[in-house]
Structure 1
Amino acid sequence: MPQLWDAGVQQKYTQSGGVRPFGISTLIAGFDPEGKPCLYQTDPSGTYSAWKANAIGGNSKTVREYLEKHYAETSGRETMKLAIKALSETVEASSKNVEIAVVDRASGLKFLSDAEVDSLVADIDSEKTASDAARKQRVAEASGTT
């Protein structure tokens, strides 16, 4: 497991009693030498852990619980939609409330435009509407009221 520079620096400062100058957790996304995507979380003590999906900050518990229930190996647009659905558990999803950055091995970090975020949110809303309609249809068929 690679030693993360950030975690190593944070841990070094814990060697003196009562010193924790960073006071934050961080999520670090990137790629290992073989090109596999990696996500690490560091905490103020300098410990770090690898994750497939995670959230930190306000309401992160709710987002993590959603990810635990709904996580699936995906890529591209489906991964971004999963992130938006998870964030939707705590905020109204729109480009006004959500920023998305994608880390790509070839092109680095890219922030999605407001239009791209709103397009993803519209896709999610359409899928939810179709799912709700299908569920209502199944209930109506089961009760014999079609």
Structure 2
Amino acid sequence: MASRYDRAITVFSPDGHLFQVEYAQEAVKKGSTAVGIRGTDIVVLGVEKKSVAKLQDERTVRKICALDDHVCMAFAAILFYNALPPFIGLTADARVVINRARVECQSHKLTVEDPVTVEYITRFIATLKQKYTQSNGRRPFGISALIVGFDDDGIPRLYQTDPSGTYHAWKANAIGRSAKTVREFLEKNYTEDAIANANEAIKLAIKALLEVVQSGGKNIELAIIRRNQPLKV
């Protein structure tokens, strides 16, 4: 019965499923793990970084990227060939979303002469994803994203989007293959003391990833955003 409904994006199954959206969410679960921590004056993104092929240019393998001077994003994506997954979800999908989001950031700045808020660009990405769940001739984006940054009020922000087009604000969250394990660790260890200063927030992100990263700290990539300071990877 399910096979009759899993080929059309816009058709619900009798029990209320959109199978193509659910398949996209399953693709996200096969990607490398990413974690986001919102501190008091810092936001930290951490991703699992596997070894690149011997002849591969490491600069072309990115799991974390800047959307604007004050907004950064990490993806959960998989590749379909024997190489490092740079995001979590489908990496070609990630590239499309990144480019669209960057253009929107610059367009907003030129139009209203103010940078986007973190929620604004998160909502833009979520809306883009949602449109692809109800359009014939398209398929859902196979990516989830953690989007972080600072607004003009100086408060750090952390949002997560999924292939269905929903988004939520978080204090800390994880996406990707081992997201459940990392999330359980964060639920036990995320406290006000654990994020009291920048170093503690960074340590918490590293410890969370080490719960699932097999080969230790050398395969972890971190991005740190502070207010009015450039992204540090």
Which category of TM-score, normalised to the shorter sequence, fits these structures? 0.5 to 0.7
1:107 equivalenced with 2:107 (yes/no): no
Asked if 1:82 is matched to 2:204, the reply is yes
Instruction: Report the equivalent of 1:33.
Output: 152
Normalization by structure 1: what TM-score?
Answer: 0.68
My pick for the range that moved more, 59-68 or 26-35, is 26-35
Q: Return the structure number with greater helix share.
A: 1
Which residue is equivalent to 1:43?
A: 162
Q: SS in structure 1 opposite 2:165?
A: coil
- 2:182 paired residue number: 63
> Residues 140 and 164 of structure 2 are in contact (CA less than 8 Å); yes or no, is this contact kept in structure 1?
no
Give structure 2 stretches of 5+ with no counterpart: 1-117
Contact 1:26–1:41 (8 Å) recurs in 2: yes
The Cα shift of 1:102 comes to 0.2
Percentage of identical aligned residues: 59
* Alignment partners' CA distance in 2, 1:51 and 1:28: 10
Look up the equivalent residue of 1:64 and give its one-letter code. Answer: R
Please, which moves more after superposition, 17-26 or 102-111? 17-26
Q: Out of 121, 131, 155, which is 1:12 matched to?
A: 131
Deviations 1:90-114, CA, capped at 9 Å, x for gaps: 1247442111110122113111xxx
Normalising by structure 2, report the TM-score: 0.44
The residue type equivalent to 1:41 in the other structure is Q
SS state at 1:99 partner: strand
- SS at 2:203 equivalent: helix
How many residue pairs get matched? 111
Q: Alignment partner of 1:7: what SS?
A: helix
Structure 1 gaps of 5+ residues are 112-146
Please tell me whether the aligned partners of residues 20 and 45 of structure 1 are also in contact (alpha carbons under 8 angstroms). Answer: no
Asked if 1:23 corresponds to 2:145, the answer is: no
